[in-house]
Amino acid sequence: MEVDAHVVSALRRAVRDCTDRGLYFASKWASELLLAIPTSKRSSQDSAGHSNLRESYLEDQDSDALLAARAFADAKEFSRAALVLKECKGAKAQFVRVYNEFLAAEKKALRDWHNLDFRPIEITNETDKNPHQPATPINHSLLEILSSLQNATDPWLLFMKALLLKRTSRRDEAIEALMLSISAYPWNWSAWRLLGSCVGDSDELASLLTLISLPPTHPLVHCFQIKTLNDLQQPQENELALCDNLLGPDMFPHSTWIMSLRACVLYHLHDFSKAEAQFDQIVALDPYRMDDIDIFSDILYVAENRTKLSKLAHHFLAIDKDRPEVCCLVGNHYSLRADQEKAIAYFRRATELDMSYLPAWTLMGHEYVEMKNSHAAIEAYRRAIDVNRKDYRAWYGLGQAYELLNMHQYSLHYYQRATALRPYDVRVWQAQGMCYEEMGSRPREAIECYKRALIGADPRETPINLKLAKLHDDVEEYAEAASYHQRVVEVSRAEGKQVHVYSRSCIYVAQFHMEKGGKDLTLAKEYLERVATSNAEEVTQAAELLKRLKSISEGRGIPSPREPPTQARSEGNEPIVVEG
């Protein structure tokens, strides 16, 4: 599907409609997409006419009150904005009124929550927290506001109803209301984002996509699919292809938002070099864009690019030091320099600016783990889970924190929650396997975890194979242990590694074939000769085993490895000359 005049007109209308209703996030998104369309396609201006004459008349009647409400809302006087619209009848005025009632109730809930603080938010010690303070603010007005929307049919009021249903944990009803809202008004991006937050996993997303009233090739459907899978941290190559299609010359070729979407897909696919290049392009096109800059800092952190991360931190600090993404960026900068205290200070600052800012809570937990402060790490990770229970990193972090306390049963529980969300993540399966190892009495479970880790691991990986070899040896499954050691040898040789790197695996395989029923003495001889002619520590051991191998070969009537096969032995031990 190409971008045509209808899409341009719909985006222009979405910018106006979302701005009029105070949905600035959705308005910004529509504006960015509109500007990304080639100028030739958006040169013609469309009429701002209203399709519903009655609603148009009511909006005209409510126009003065709407202007006043918008001024009050911009000044953060949400209760006044709601009050001034109390007598208005139009659907737009009703939405703005209910939305401002919700914002006023949220503001009060946050104020009441902070009144329970013993002091400003600190989680370095358990005593800093009021035991009577809930993990997040509780809005007691949600049900009252929701009751006024029971019979809503307007798409904006349906969106508002879905938002309240989601907040009261009525997810299925929220999804139903959102589907009706999107069907009637597709270009409200806030409705799509709320729908994405209701999705539990990729399978649920796939089933939901079939219920959307838009064509499957519609750009909104593609944007929703990519963004939701990024949030679930489960994008695949297909989402990368969808991004490339959306950036095509007939779609949104100049969209930094879609470029950022593509960079996040590459990040979750662990293609960090290409993700970094994509973010470089975004910064070059729009040096003031701060959305997803925290992901860019994560990539530079993994690459250990201190210089670039430092320049990026200084650049965005000068623009806006009070954005959570910028605080997270600066926190990563200090973390890479092993300054945990300053890193934690910036991550905490990010959470003070936005309590629902998930990356800061998770990264704060990581820093506390580095400092071996398990209790503070656990508190930070639990805050992250309160924000989003679908983030595997917080569950994984909790597992690590409880491991520091030697509470392995707790660790296993949290690692299992992480693997349920990320079934092919190598690190989580490895951590779970190590936890079973440390428990001492559960080698079988450890073996299964490492086998699962191998599924998603690099084919050239060797440490997990060595772990499996050791565990199989511990349970006296020598053939399986030898097969993993043999795999280590084959991979190491294919990569041209020095013999001393895999010499122990050579020795193990040779001993298995000589002493434990393997019977492939030719392979044993090959491996031992390779070690015996190297500079590995096991040279002496390999030489002695070669001598034993020669005697074993002669004892079995097998030709010596250093002599041509001119003679073999019969069952009666009488020499038989081999002719020819």
Name the DSSP letter for residue 579: P
Locate tokens 């400003």: which residue? 120
Locate tokens 């190892």: which residue? 437
How far is C-alpha 76 from the geometric centre of its chain's CA atoms?
34
Q: Are residues 88 and 36 in the same domain?
A: no
Position 43 confidence tier, pLDDT thresholds 50, 70, 90? low
Q: What is the mean pLDDT of residues 167-172?
A: 91
Q: Are residues 21 and 89 in the same domain?
A: no
The string of pLDDT tens digits covering residues 229-264 is: 999 988 999 999 999 999 999 899 999 999 999 999
The pLDDT assigned to 552 comes to 75
Total structural domains within the chain: 3
Q: What is the mean pLDDT of residues 462-475?
A: 92
Alpha-carbon gap, residue 465 to 456, rounded angstroms: 13
Pick the range with the lowest mean pLDDT from 56-65, 194-203, 407-416, 530-539.
56-65
Give the length of the chain: 580
Q: Are residues 438 and 468 in the same domain?
A: yes
Classify 518 as helix, strand or coil: coil
Position 114 confidence tier, pLDDT thresholds 50, 70, 90? low
Q: Are residues 430 and 519 in the same domain?
A: yes
Q: Are residues 15 and 58 in the same domain?
A: no
- More confident of the two residues 204 and 567: 204
Q: Are residues 6 and 120 in the same domain?
A: no
In a domain, 350, yes or no: no
Closest CA to 463 of 491, 422, 435: 491
The structure tokens listed for 429 are 């399966």
Strand pairing class (575-577; 567-569): antiparallel
Packed helices 256-268 and 237-246: angle between N→C axes, nearest 10 degrees = 170
The string of pLDDT tens digits covering residues 266-304 is: 999 999 999 999 999 999 999 999 999 999 999 999 999
State the amino acid at position 165 in one-letter form. Answer: L
Structural domain for 39, as ranges: 1-49
Instruction: Report the CATH number at residue 499.
Output: 1.25.40.10
Q: Are residues 133 and 7 in the same domain?
A: no
- More confident of the two residues 448 and 75: 448
Closest CA to 425 of 389, 449, 405: 449
In a domain, 432, yes or no: yes
Alpha-carbon gap, residue 532 to 537, rounded angstroms: 10
Contacts of 574 (CB under 8 A, 6+ apart): none
Average pLDDT of the chain is 86
In a domain, 176, yes or no: no
Contacts of 280 (CB under 8 A, 6+ apart): none
Q: Are residues 455 and 549 in the same domain?
A: yes
Residue 520, pLDDT above cutoff 50: yes
CA angle 295-301-306, nearest 5°?
A: 125
Q: Are residues 512 and 430 in the same domain?
A: yes
Please give, one letter per residue, the 3-state secondary structure of 24-91: HHHHHHHHHHHHHCCHHHCCCCCCCCCCCHHHHHHHHHHHHHHHHHHHHHHCCCHHHHHHHCCCCCCH
The pLDDT assigned to 120 comes to 45
In a domain, 531, yes or no: yes
Alpha-carbon gap, residue 474 to 58, rounded angstroms: 79
Q: Are residues 4 and 108 in the same domain?
A: no
In a domain, 287, yes or no: no
Q: Are residues 4 and 105 in the same domain?
A: no
Packed helices 374-387 and 358-370: angle between N→C axes, nearest 10 degrees = 160
Contacts of 555 (CB under 8 A, 6+ apart): none
Q: Residue 575: beta bridge partners?
A: 569
Residue 578, pLDDT above cutoff 50: no
Q: Residue 569: beta bridge partners?
A: 575
Q: What is the mean pLDDT of residues 75-80?
A: 86
In a domain, 205, yes or no: no
The pLDDT assigned to 461 comes to 87
In terms of C-beta density within 10 A (0-12 exposed, 13-18 middle, 19 or more buried), how is residue 45 classed? Answer: exposed
- More confident of the two residues 1 and 89: 89
Alpha-carbon gap, residue 461 to 466, rounded angstroms: 10
Residue 323, pLDDT above cutoff 90: yes
Q: What is the mean pLDDT of residues 520-548?
A: 88
Q: Are residues 85 and 32 in the same domain?
A: no
CB atoms within 10 A of CB 207: 9
Model confidence, pTM: 0.80
Exposed e or buried b per residue across 261-297, where buried means at least 16 C-beta atoms within 10 angstroms of its C-beta: bbbbbbbbeebeebbbebbeebbeeeeebebbbbbbb
Q: Are 340 and 371 in contact (CB under 8 A)?
A: yes
- CA-only gyration radius of the chain, Å: 32
Please give, one letter per residue, the 3-state secondary structure of 388-451: CCCCHHHHHHHHHHHHHCCCHHHHHHHHHHHHHHCCCCHHHHHHHHHHHHHHCCCHHHHHHHHH
In a domain, 534, yes or no: yes
Exposed e or buried b per residue across 467-490, where buried means at least 16 C-beta atoms within 10 angstroms of its C-beta: bbbbbbbeeeebeebbbbbbbbbe
Q: Are 26 and 189 in contact (CB under 8 A)?
A: yes
In a domain, 136, yes or no: yes
